[in-house]
Homo-oligomer: A and B are copies of this chain.
């Protein structure tokens, strides 16, 4: 496989996940790192054999086939538009934007574009195995879903105001997972939420604990369980119930060691955070982007998926606000 040059926009938390994956991929070469903070850009570039660049010059380089957008959320859409207008394939971290109107208005520009949105859970080997078994009929026809997505510890309150809130920032992953697995668009959304983890989150107008109940036109039911603080690691699970049985994807533990002694039975903890838990998912996602770049695959999570998840997240917010289910 020839290597195709890519540019990384944003050397922050997610850039540090995707940049190395691009640099190590046999079909990609990390050529440019773009970041407004010169030190961050330089550190990433030197570590992985890339050059620091300005956005414009990176996009102007005809050798650049793809762009990885890991900038701050409020810049995702602007950077994505610039890259698509420059004819590049785009991998963009989620969400496209927190403002559904802006996202919808920009949608026509993405028609036909090679655009992969960062719904990493679709590339998790455990969740993919569950989906394969589901499609193989091991549980019969899918009837209901249980998605668990619990963060290990609450974010600093300073993160809340620009986060978009629990549903757009966090639940959005589950809303996409639900769409991916249900094979139907939810037509009813009910969310019940509380602020139990950190009262400061509540003072900032957000919630930190929620249950969301989706229903589809054919009567399939899906429950999403969210909390900002589990106290025991990054709890990521799926249960799928069908006409002939159930499928479950359990948590991944740090290792398989168990102690039995007077104190009881003590196993290794589950993975503590997204970087460890979804290491393989991030690598698989970038490999998929490489396949898209090489023309061997169509993006499995596109712009329209981002729009649909955002619509559901807004419905969750509205349901909490009104105390009633929202019909879509």
Answer whether residue A5 sits at the interface, using C-beta atoms and an 8 A cutoff: no
Contact of A194 among B221, B259, B261, B267 (CB under 8 A): B221
Q: Are B250 and A258 in contact (CB under 8 A)?
A: yes
For A129, the chain B residues whose CB sits under 8 A away are 254-255, 257, 268
Task: State whether the Cβ of A143 lies closer than 8 Å to any Cβ in chain B.
Answer: yes
Query: With a CB–CB cut-off of 8 A, which chain B residues contact A243?
Result: 196-197, 229, 231
Residue of B146, B188, B227, B254 near A143 (CB, 8 A) is B227
Chain A, 202-220, CB within 8 A of any chain B CB: 209-211, 213, 215, 219-220
- A101 to B: closest C-beta gap in Å: 28
Q: State which of B139, B193, B197, B261 has its C-beta within 8 Å of the C-beta of A138.
A: B261
Contacts A249-B257, A259-B138 given; does A144 touch B227 at CB 8 Å: yes
With A254-B129, A260-B245, A264-B267 as known contacts, state yes or no: A213 contacts B190, CB within 8 Å: yes
When all copies of this chain in the complex are counted, the total is 4
Residues from 264 to 296 in A contacting B, C-beta threshold 8 Å = 264-270
Q: Are B261 and A232 in contact (CB under 8 A)?
A: yes
Q: Is A256 an interface residue (CB 8 A)?
A: yes
A12 at the interface (CB under 8 A from B): no
Interface: A100 (CB within 8 A): no
State A225–B224 Cα separation when bound (angstroms). 12
CA distance in complex: A270, B260 (Å)? 9
How distant is the Cα of A220 from the Cα of B268 in the complex, in angstroms? 27
The answer to whether A264 and B255 have CB atoms under 8 Å apart is no
| A4 in contact (CB, < 8 A) | no
Q: Taking A126-B256, A269-B264 as contacts, is the C-beta distance between A246 and B225 under 8 angstroms?
A: no
Interface bracket on A: 35 or more
Residue A270 contacts which of B130, B211, B233, B265 (CB distance < 8 angstroms)?
B265
Residue of B whose beta carbon sits closest to that of A194: B219
Question: Does B221 lie within 8 Å of A223, measured CB to CB?
Answer: no
- Tell me which of B197, B220, B225, B246 contacts A260 (CB under 8 A): B246
A-B contact pairs, 11 of them (CB 8 A): A143-B194, A144-B209, A209-B219, A230-B245, A232-B265, A246-B259, A246-B261, A248-B258, A248-B260, A265-B269, A266-B267
A sample of 19 more A-B contacts (CB under 8 A), given A138-B259, A144-B209, A250-B256, is: A24-B24, A133-B259, A138-B261, A139-B259, A143-B227, A144-B227, A188-B192, A190-B213, A194-B220, A211-B221, A229-B243, A230-B241, A230-B260, A231-B244, A231-B262, A232-B261, A265-B270, A266-B266, A324-B325
Please give the residue numbers on chain A whose beta carbons come within 8 Å of chain B beta carbons, in ascending order: 24, 26, 47, 125-126, 129-130, 133, 138-140, 143-144, 146, 150, 188, 190, 192-197, 209-211, 213, 215, 219-221, 223, 225, 227, 229-233, 235, 241-262, 264-270, 323-325
